[in-house]
Amino acid sequence: MIAILAAIALMGQNTKDTYGKTNEQILAMGYNAWSDFYNAKAGVSTIAMSNAAGLYGDALMARNDRLMKRLKPTESARFKRLRTSMLDFKNEAIGMGVSLTGGGTMWNPIAAGMQVDTETALYRVLAGLTSKAPRRVVSDVTKVMAQLKGDLGKAKLDMNWPKVAKDSIAGTDKAFDSIVKEAKGLPRRDSDTILEFCRKILVDIRETATPK
């Protein structure tokens, strides 16, 4: 399931053409300015939006990789595991949204944008920028997860979407368990940041899949 959902995030990201911008220059521009710049060059389309987000996420990942190399091996390994679980979490959670909408190309840039969310949350922890993180506990995340499960339970899914939904729920729960395990060893504000990332991913997916 992760392989299928990860492919959604990677659709359209087969180019490394940054129009002359280095990773450092991309990050210095900021996400919105970079996206505007890229879309002005590549043309506004779902693929271009996905590419812009994917390239920004790659730049963030490269910066985080450098920060991880400065840590003790055990701490670096912890953050690598945490990153893997966070990426699994967002990929699997997107599967719930995709099931609710019966697919849709709109999920391509959303998935790519959530790579940006993943690396941004990690950067805040690695760089010590978590002092303003809202207080979060595990139940803040599981509450939204329960709402999404309820949405899926009430939805009239057809074709292969019931299986996709079932697999995505299981995958999201598994990834979240792994995130909680790693976050328990972090300072409170750092774990708050990671839990807020998880909560926001689920809220964004639910709001996209079940607009009011």
- 82: which residues sit within 8 A by CB, 6+ positions away? 122, 179, 182, 183, 194
- Average pLDDT of adjacent 10-residue blocks, the chain of 212 residues: 48 64 96 97 93 96 98 97 98 97 93 97 97 96 98 92 96 98 96 98 96 71
H helix runs in 43-106, sequence order: 46-69, 73-101
Quick one: pLDDT at residue 154? 94
Alpha carbon distance 55, 62 (integer Å): 11
The pTM score is 0.90
Q: Note the pLDDT of residue 43.
A: 92
Residue 126 CB burial class (10 angstroms; 0-12, 13-18, ≥19): buried
The string of DSSP codes covering 124-144 is HHHTT--TTPPP--HHHHHHH
How many separate domains does the chain show?
Answer: 1
- If phi > 0 it is left, if psi is from -120 to 50 it is alpha, else beta; for residue 71 that is beta
Location of structure tokens 């999920």: 107
Domain that holds residue 131: 2-209
Give the DSSP H/E element, type plus range, for residue 112: helix 107-126
User: Is residue 155 helix, strand or coil?
Assistant: coil
Q: Cα–chain-centroid distance for residue 108?
A: 12
